[in-house]
């Protein structure tokens, strides 16, 4: 079962597993939380831990209870496989709740997640990548550590209007004892073009990588110019009359305007 392969990790204690719950956008409903409390008591040790990937972990789950736990998790929409893989996109709250936010990072994260799910990625080297979104330079979404990271920004558009956008980072890595920050690509990409930008980066990697070459080493070898080239035509903002959607952030109806103030990071 794929879920067991990606979401269940054997503990040092024989016969027990730590189970990762893939929580889309880090959001849980009150009903899900109540159900999880019961499941943690039924299958684990009555506790749950949060992770830096905005997921949850249930520990001390006996091996013979894994299938039953998965069925109960699926009943509350938390049985999705692929924890810590490329479709497990993380983001900060952005303009949803933080006044320091420049862009609607959670909306961008949800759009990225759906785009990646629709791709039905089977390539194991691509599956292993991490995509992260921060709504401003403070980097609460940890975009600077991602394989492909996006940092909230804004670019000039039509008739003095602004377009929500992202700076692009590639090549971050934090696993297997090899830690490195991502490198910034010169072009900023309008927010609504972030899913396409991600698809182009993945296509470049699949087309030009050497055999079994990890993405962060691929970035080192081909250099930032290769990424700047494939993203170059996504940067420009068309006139508002031709593409109103470009001037609206994800999950927003109003025309974008950069506004900042004290936010969560300033507390």
CATH number at residue 50: 3.30.70.3340
Give pLDDT, residue 37: 96
Residue range 161-188, pLDDT digits in tens: 899 999 999 999 998 888 999 999 988 9
Q: CA separation (Å) from 145 to 43, 72, 258?
A: 33, 33, 25
Tokens of 20: 């990762």
* Residues with Cβ within 8 Å of residue 157, at least 6 apart in sequence: 163, 237, 240, 246, 247
Tokens of 181: 């920050």
Give pLDDT, residue 259: 77
Give pLDDT, residue 266: 52
95, 128: one domain: yes
63, 98: one domain: no
Residue range 60-94, pLDDT digits in tens: 999 999 999 999 999 999 999 999 999 999 999 99
Task: Choose one of 19, 45, 75: the last residue of a domain.
Answer: 75
196, 248: one domain: yes
Task: Choose one of 40, 75, 110: the last residue of a domain.
Answer: 75
Tokens of 28: 């849980």
Give pLDDT, residue 157: 86
105, 199: one domain: yes
- The answer to whether residue 85 is domain-embedded is no
136 — alpha (psi -120 to 50), left (phi > 0) or beta? beta
146, 43: one domain: no
188, 162 contact by CB (below 8 A)? no
Q: Can you give the C-alpha Rg of the chain in angstroms?
A: 20
Q: How many CB atoms lie within 10 A of CB 120?
A: 7
Give pLDDT, residue 227: 97
Task: Choose one of 43, 75, 107: the last residue of a domain.
Answer: 75
- The answer to whether residue 80 is domain-embedded is no
Question: What ranges in the chain are assigned the alpha helix state H?
Answer: 2-7, 30-43, 66-75, 105-119, 124-127, 194-208, 215-222, 224-231
CATH at 103: 3.30.413.10
167, 229: one domain: yes
Tokens of 121: 């990625």
116, 214: one domain: yes
Give the three-class secondary structure for 190: strand
pLDDT tens, residue order, the chain (267 aa): 789 999 999 999 999 999 999 999 889 999 999 999 999 999 999 999 999 999 999 999 999 999 999 999 999 999 999 999 999 999 999 999 898 999 999 999 999 999 999 999 999 999 999 999 999 999 999 999 999 999 999 998 888 889 999 999 999 999 888 899 999 998 899 999 999 999 999 999 999 999 999 999 999 999 999 999 999 999 877 888 788 899 999 999 999 888 766 655 555
Domain interval for residue 181? 90-266
119, 7: one domain: no
Nearest to 111 by CA among 85, 128, 83, 131: 131
256, 162 contact by CB (below 8 A)? yes
127, 246: one domain: yes
* Separation of alpha carbons 118 and 112, rounded Å: 10
29, 97: one domain: no
CB crowding 151-175: b at 16 or more within 10 Å, else e: bbbbbebbeeebbbbbbbbbbbbbe
196, 66: one domain: no
Counting the structural domains of the chain, the total is 2
DSSP 36: H
112, 121 contact by CB (below 8 A)? no
101, 125: one domain: yes
């Amino acid at each position: 079962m794929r879920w067991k392969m990606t979401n269940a990790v054997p503990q040092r204690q024989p016969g027990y597993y730590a189970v990762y719950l893939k929580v889309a956008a880090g959001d849980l409903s009150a009903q899900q939380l109540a159900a999880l409390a019961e499941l943690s008591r039924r299958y684990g040790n009555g506790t749950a831990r949060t992770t830096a990937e905005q997921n949850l972990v249930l520990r001390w789950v006996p091996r013979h209870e894994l299938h039953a736990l998965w069925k109960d998790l699926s009943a509350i929409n938390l049985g999705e496989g692929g924890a810590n893989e490329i479709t497990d996109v993380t983001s900060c709250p952005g303009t949803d709740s933080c006044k320091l936010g420049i862009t609607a990072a959670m909306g961008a994260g949800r759009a990225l997640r759906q785009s990646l799910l629709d791709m039905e990625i089977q390539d194991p080297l691509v599956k292993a990548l991490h995509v992260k979104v921060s709504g401003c330079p403070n980097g609460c979404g940890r975009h600077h550590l991602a394989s492909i990271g996006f940092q909230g920004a804004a670019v000039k558009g039509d008739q003095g209007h602004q377009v929500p956008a992202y700076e692009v980072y590639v090549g971050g890595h934090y696993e297997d004892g090899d830690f490195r920050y991502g490198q910034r690509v010169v072009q900023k990409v309008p927010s609504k073009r972030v899913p396409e930008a991600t698809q182009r980066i993945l296509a470049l990697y699949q087309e030009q990588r050497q055999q079994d070459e990890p993405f962060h080493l691929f970035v080192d070898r081909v250099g930032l110019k290769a990424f700047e080239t494939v993203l170059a035509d996504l940067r420009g903002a068309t006139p508002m009359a031709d593409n109103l959607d470009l001037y609206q952030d994800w999950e927003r109806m109003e025309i974008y305007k950069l506004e900042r103030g004290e936010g969560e990071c300033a507390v």
